[in-house]
Amino acid sequence: MTSDKLNAALAAEVFARKGMRHIVISPGSRNAPLIIAFAQHPVIQALIVIDERSAAFFALGIAQQTRKTVAIACTSGSAVLNYAPAIAEAYYQKIPLLVLTADRPSHLIDQGDGQTIRQKNVFANYIVKSYELPEEINSEEEKEAAVDLINEAINLTLTPAGGPVHINLPFSEPIYNQIPALNFPVKFSEPEIAKHEISENEINRLVQTWNSSAKKLVLVGMMEPDEKFRNLLGQLADDDAVVVLSETTSNLNECCIISCIDRVVSTIEPDEANDFKPDLLLTFGGHVVSKMVKAFLKNNKPSFHWNIDPVDFNMDTYQSLTDPVPMNPGGFLEKLLLKTEKKNNSYRDLWKERAERSEQKHQEFLAHCEYSDLKVFEYLLKTVPENSNLQLGNSTPVRYSQLFRAVRKYHYNSNRGTSGIDGTVSTAAGAAFVNGIPTTLITGDIGFLYDSNALMNHHLTGNLRIIIINNGGGGIFRFIPGPDTTSHLEKFFEGRHSWSAKYIAKNFDVPYYTASSLEELHIVLPQFYENQKDERPAILEIFTPNEKNAVILRNYFAFLKI
């Protein structure tokens, strides 16, 4: 059986026939046709998450891991607006979400009807495309048009770059009636894989610039693991004139690269900046975490900057873009490598020597470092189980991770599309639900508390571990310049508090562990990673000294320069 609302029934049928499997539904009445159509479909796994904001991030986590379209469906009114943070994140990360919002009929909008807002195009600024299905579908032509619309919407979630697509569905009462399941022949168009190419003349022009540039810096932002790209980049880096910088979220790990950018860039003094400044900057991937490298490149602009991306090729993060190249990164490197000439100079050695010096200083400092956020991260990044999916919360967690060499035993993820703290727990829960491997979220206390409704979820799995670094507030505001010069640091910027996750964990029946020293952490961590009773996830809350953390981190960067 399915809903008698043909727009909802068709949405479920097309979704299923195109090979999509997951939908995350939040309870409601107006979305009853969507619930009936999707939850009763034999090949669709319908999941229930009550809080719409958490539900959307949970779906984002599933799609992040599977790279397949995941649907979300909610009732009308303000419920729709709660999807906005996750939709914005999916838009900037290019994660495939199909957003289905139930609505009142158009003649009831702005007429004082309950749970009724202007939903059409409500996500206009951060959606790939918005559609509205007609409420009445009476003829074969109208049915074919509706099928084509749904098919196109799903395709757009995946190509040319992917991202969230919105379909608004108005429903008139009655909304709970059912009919036999749909059975009709139909041919769907598949997503068109765009072939991004540039002319041979253009390649030759770029190659000439590459070969004539003495100092070439390659900077890789957020990317999913890609072995082919990794190997090609390793070939490009086999050149004295080429330096490759990456981050943990680049998922390149041990690939002839400098993966701790801040540890190196922070030591570059003004009188030597010109030596490190590249002639040519080549960028790949999504957003870069390091504010230091952004500032360095904006202040020391290269003569040429190429940004390689099939869609976001015009992104000019460093305000120096000369050549936007609309190509797939791997395809571009294949063409470039056919014609590159190696140079003999000291540019790679300059960066490499500074990176090795910084690594030595890093180890020396940590050997005598007091208990703090920094010391805790050193310990955690050595002990999180191998072959784990490591989800990094925003603000301090993802920034601390950049101070430690990325390793191949982890797959790194972080919501760095918009870099907000909302939804980090829900995203990790969605990732753990679908990936079947150990999944550890490292988050701050504010990030956890902000998304604690993520635990109000019947689909939490036993492979999920949540580590909370509780330093009593937004620790990032003690590190960045500015907030500490005002009288409002603790109250308004940091959000100082004495809250704990203990009773939140108890309320949702999630095993809870705590540590306030390295000794306690050493004892409790094996218990935390053991299989929990009833295959539950687990929470480990690590308390660190609020005011000391900032002092220790500043001392750390000062020590790197000595």
Q: For the residues of 224-281, what is the DSSP string, one character each?
A: ---HHHHHHHHHHT-STTEEEE--GGGT--SSSSB--HHHHHTT--GGGHHHH--SEE
Which of 126, 147, 179 terminates a domain? The answer is 179
Task: Say yes or no: 19 and 164 in one domain.
Answer: yes
Please list, in sequence order, all residues whose beta carbon lies within 8 angstroms of the beta carbon of residue 497, skipping any fewer than 6 positions away.
445, 472, 473
Residue 383 and residue 525 in contact, taking contact as beta carbons nearer than 8 Å: yes
Task: Say yes or no: 346 and 394 in one domain.
Answer: no
Q: Is residue 267 part of a domain?
A: yes
Q: Classify 282 as helix, strand or coil.
A: strand
* Helices vs. strands in the chain: H and E counts, helices first: 21, 19
Peptide bond into 174 cis (omega under 30): yes
Peptide bond into 302 cis (omega under 30): no
Residue 188 and residue 18 in contact, taking contact as beta carbons nearer than 8 Å: yes
Which of 307, 328, 353 terminates a domain? The answer is 353
**How far apart (Å, rounded) are the C-alpha atoms in residues 289 and 359?**
20
**How far apart (Å, rounded) are the C-alpha atoms in residues 513 and 528?**
7
Q: Is residue 445 part of a domain?
A: yes
**How far apart (Å, rounded) are the C-alpha atoms in residues 464 and 434?**
11
**How far apart (Å, rounded) are the C-alpha atoms in residues 251 and 185?**
43
Q: Is residue 86 part of a domain?
A: yes
Closest CA to 54 of 383, 497, 511, 448: 448
Q: Is residue 184 part of a domain?
A: no
Residue linked to tokens 């190249």: 325
Q: Would you mind telling me the total number of residues written for the chain in this entry?
A: 562
Please list, in sequence order, all residues whose beta carbon lies within 8 angstroms of the beta carbon of residue 74, skipping any fewer than 6 positions away.
25, 26, 28, 31, 52, 55, 80, 82, 83, 100, 101, 102
Give the chain's domain count.
Answer: 3
Task: Say yes or no: 546 and 424 in one domain.
Answer: yes
Whether the per-residue pLDDT at 192 is higher than 80: the answer is no
Half-sphere CA count of 175, side-chain side, radius 13 A: 21
DSSP letters, 429-496, are HHHHHHH-S-EEEEEEHHHHHHTGGGGSBTT--TTEEEEEEE-SS-THHHHSSSGGGSTTIIIIII--
Q: Is residue 102 part of a domain?
A: yes
Task: Say yes or no: 301 and 229 in one domain.
Answer: yes
Pair type for strands 304-308 and 129-132: unpaired
Q: Classify 80 as helix, strand or coil.
A: helix
pLDDT at 490: 54
**How far apart (Å, rounded) are the C-alpha atoms in residues 290 and 272?**
20
pLDDT band per the 50, 70, 90 thresholds, residue 248: very high
Task: Say yes or no: 349 and 375 in one domain.
Answer: no
Task: Say yes or no: 154 and 204 in one domain.
Answer: no
Query: What share of the chain has pLDDT > 70, as a percent?
Result: 94
What's 556's domain CATH number?
3.40.50.970
Whether the per-residue pLDDT at 53 is higher than 90: the answer is yes
Q: Classify 514 as helix, strand or coil.
A: strand
pLDDT at 480: 55
Task: Say yes or no: 333 and 430 in one domain.
Answer: no
CA torsion sign for 524, 458, 81, 155 is positive
Task: Say yes or no: 343 and 388 in one domain.
Answer: no
Whether the per-residue pLDDT at 143 is higher than 80: the answer is yes
What domain range includes position 547? 369-561
Q: 489-515, pLDDT tens digit by residue?
A: 555 555 667 789 999 999 999 999 999
Q: Crossing angle, helix 546-561 and helix 347-367, to 10 degrees?
A: 140
Task: Say yes or no: 302 and 422 in one domain.
Answer: no
pLDDT at 26: 98
**How far apart (Å, rounded) are the C-alpha atoms in residues 86 and 84?**
6
Apex CA 536: angle with CA 534 and CA 539, to 5°? Answer: 145
Q: Bridge-partner residues for 442, per DSSP?
A: 392, 467
Residue 8 and residue 36 in contact, taking contact as beta carbons nearer than 8 Å: yes
Task: Say yes or no: 24 and 159 in one domain.
Answer: yes
Q: Is residue 302 part of a domain?
A: yes
pLDDT at 109: 75
pLDDT at 476: 55
Q: Is residue 191 part of a domain?
A: no
pLDDT band per the 50, 70, 90 thresholds, residue 189: confident
Whether the per-residue pLDDT at 195 is higher than 90: the answer is no
pLDDT at 280: 98
pLDDT: which is higher, 65 or 185: 65
Residue 71 and residue 24 in contact, taking contact as beta carbons nearer than 8 Å: yes
DSSP letters, 112-139, are T-TT----TTTTGGG-SEEEE--S---S
pLDDT at 160: 84
Average pLDDT over the chain reads 93
Whether the per-residue pLDDT at 114 is higher than 80: the answer is no
pLDDT at 110: 72
Which of 327, 353, 379 terminates a domain? The answer is 353
pLDDT at 227: 92
**How far apart (Å, rounded) are the C-alpha atoms in residues 302 and 278?**
5
Whether the per-residue pLDDT at 425 is higher than 60: the answer is yes
**How far apart (Å, rounded) are the C-alpha atoms in residues 162 and 68?**
10
Q: Is residue 126 part of a domain?
A: yes
User: At 59, which amino acid appears?
Assistant: A
Whether the per-residue pLDDT at 266 is higher than 90: the answer is yes
Task: Say yes or no: 286 and 137 in one domain.
Answer: no
**How far apart (Å, rounded) are the C-alpha atoms in residues 386 and 376?**
18
Tokens standing for residue 309: 């991306």
Task: Say yes or no: 388 and 520 in one domain.
Answer: yes
**How far apart (Å, rounded) are the C-alpha atoms in residues 486 and 505?**
35
What helix, strand, coil percent values describe the chain, rounded to 5? 45, 15, 40
Q: 357-409, pLDDT tens digit by residue?
A: 999 999 999 999 999 999 999 999 999 999 999 999 998 999 999 999 988 88
What's 224's domain CATH number?
3.40.50.1220
